[in-house]
């Protein structure tokens, strides 16, 4: 096992990895920019080194500075977290050249899956289903002709994209040229590469992803799915595991396809294969593979009992995975809310300031991963996510009720946060029923108070959750010859819900 690991990141994910290192008995090194000198991850680490000014391009994105620190500190390995250099093939290769283990996949796997067009072509050779779309190297006129042939609406997507950047929806021929130019400009600015491609837009789809783990000894498993359809501008805000839309047979099938996609690039370590799922006909299509740890990994950890970060470290050290597919069983349900320093009542404008008060929720089934502490100065240089709140329950209904309770307990003073937004979603009947899709947030507006809708609607939502909770527990098995015991589907609650509404 490694003796010392450098965490090339900041915020809550840096703290998460530092904790895993401590549990493994590994000395941990942090890096920080000048404005992060008093950050929580700096305080937590055994050693910490400044790597430059506040802008990430002069600090957290400077791979050469980080490797210089790694050499100086005498580390064995570097964990990139997510964001920044986590999916940078050049950085992974530079680590190898420096004799330092990169805790993640090979540079070749990162490069192949990092280019969305290349990823599509690679996984298609393994029979992975794709959304109808274009190949590489097409000029604007060729892309316009392809969009006509595919049929509007279409999605214009950056080949080197991520995080919703370089993406545009074109619903007509007249709008296509302007949106294409806009997507190219944004892609060039964000990724230094203006290549884009066109995909058929699947309306009312759900975003389902499969977590995979693979070691250097040829073992690869999946750990079930995560539902990631609650999104704003293609950015995930709420995730859960498992998904109400995925039945056991489909779960096993998507797991096998995800493993095939990962195997196509000889993948090693933790990764996530993302799909668009059309619940109208139970068809799913490959979106991309994220060659890193995901923000939403805690929901998988809570329902499977697998510590993904510690497994990442062990795999990178050359150890054989402790798990086979038959060992992976899901217990209960987990939901994650991303807490951001944004004002949901003002178009999610970023919020900066001093954290003057902090009360984090606790109690059964509640987990908080945070970078905040009282007295902390929050700046606007980096991603606005400051914490992740995760709730687990024996059923989805119990997980929702616990999340509602935890959000009510969460107090952050001095800055605006997205907590009221999450409270509103937890009270939404569409969310509680599980009938949402990626267009959910486009169809609703944020109210001017933490609670939305009439009192009767809120009571109906709570009653629905309670009814589902009373009707049984769920035990989903991802491996082995186990029969799933499922709670009644929220879709089947309609008759009872009408009766409850009548009494209200």
Contact indicator for 23, 46 with CB cutoff of 8 Å: no
Catalytic status, residue 367: no
Q: Using CA atoms, how far apart are residues 175 and 172, in angstroms rounded to an integer? A: 6
How far is residue 410 from each of residues 325, 327, 351, 425, measured CA to CA in Å? 37, 35, 17, 16
User: Of the listed 16, 292, 396, 404, which one is catalytic?
Assistant: 292
Contact indicator for 48, 100 with CB cutoff of 8 Å: no
Q: How many CB atoms lie within 10 A of CB 25?
A: 9
Q: Using CA atoms, how far apart are residues 108 and 267, in angstroms rounded to an integer? A: 9
DSSP, res 45:
S
DSSP assignments along 376-438, one per residue:
PEE-SSS-SEEEEEEEEESSHHHHHHHHHHHHHH-EEESS--SHHHHHHHHT-HHHHHT---T
| Cα 288 from chain centroid (whole Å) | 13
Q: At what angle do helices 11-24 and 308-316 cross, to 10 degrees?
A: 60
How far is residue 399 from each of residues 152, 259, 364, 459, measured CA to CA in Å? 39, 29, 11, 17
Contact indicator for 208, 258 with CB cutoff of 8 Å: no
Residues carrying an active site annotation:
292
């Amino acid at each position: 096992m490694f003796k010392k690991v450098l965490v090339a990141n900041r915020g809550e994910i840096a703290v998460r990895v530092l904790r895993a290192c401590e549990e493994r008995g590994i000395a941990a090194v942090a890096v920080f920019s000048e404005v992060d000198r008093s950050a929580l991850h700096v305080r937590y680490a055994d050693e910490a080194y400044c790597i430059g000014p506040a802008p990430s391009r002069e600090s957290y994105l400077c791979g050469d500075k980080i490797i210089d620190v790694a050499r100086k500190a005498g580390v064995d390995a570097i964990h990139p977290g997510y964001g920044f250099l986590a999916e940078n093939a050049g950085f992974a290769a530079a680590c190898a050249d420096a004799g330092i283990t990169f805790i993640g996949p090979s540079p070749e796997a990162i490069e192949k899956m990092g280019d969305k067009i290349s990823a599509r072509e690679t996984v298609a050779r393994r029979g992975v289903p794709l959304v109808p779309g274009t190949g590489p190297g097409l000029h604007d006129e060729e892309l316009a002709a392809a969009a006509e042939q595919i049929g509007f609406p279409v999605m214009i997507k950056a080949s080197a994209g991520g995080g919703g950047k370089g993406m545009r929806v074109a619903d007509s021929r007249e709008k296509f040229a302007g949106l294409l130019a806009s997507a190219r400009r944004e892609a060039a600015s964000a990724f230094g590469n203006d290549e884009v491609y066109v995909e058929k837009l699947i309306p009312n789809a759900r975003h389902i992803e499969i977590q995979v783990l693979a070691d250097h000894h040829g073992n690869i498993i999946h750990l079930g799915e995560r539902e990631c359809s609650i999104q704003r501008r293609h950015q995930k805000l709420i995730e859960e595991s498992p998904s109400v839309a995925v039945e056991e047979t489909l779960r096993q099938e998507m797991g096998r396809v995800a493993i095939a996609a990962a195997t196509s690039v000889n993948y090693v370590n933790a990764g996530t294969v993302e799909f668009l799922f059309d619940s109208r006909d139970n068809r799913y299509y490959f979106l991309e593979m994220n060659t890193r740890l995901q923000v939403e990994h805690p929901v998988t950890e809570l329902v499977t009992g697998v510590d993904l970060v510690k497994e990442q470290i062990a795999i990178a050290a050359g150890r054989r995975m402790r798990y086979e597919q038959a060992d992976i069983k899901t217990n209960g349900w987990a939901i994650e809310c991303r807490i951001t320093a944004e004002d949901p009542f003002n178009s999610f404008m970023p919020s900066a300031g001093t954290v003057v008060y902090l009360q984090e929720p606790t109690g059964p089934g509640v987990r908080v991963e945070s970078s905040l502490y009282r007295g902390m100065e929050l700046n606007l240089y980096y991603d606005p996510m400051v914490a992740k709140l995760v709730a687990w329950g024996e059923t989805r209904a119990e997980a929702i009720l616990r999340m509602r309770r935890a959000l009510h307990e969460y107090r952050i003073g001095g800055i605006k946060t997205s907590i009221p937004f999450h409270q509103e979603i937890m009270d939404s009947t569409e969310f509680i029923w599980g009938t949402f899709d990626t267009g959910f947030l486009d169809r609703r507006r944020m109210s001017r108070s933490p609670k939305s809708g009439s009192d009767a609607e809120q009571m109906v939502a709570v009653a629905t959750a309670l009814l589902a909770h009373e009707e049984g527990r769920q035990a989903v098995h991802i491996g082995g010859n186990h029969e799933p015991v499922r709670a009644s589907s929220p879709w089947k609650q309609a008759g009872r819900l009408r009766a409850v509404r009548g009494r209200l």
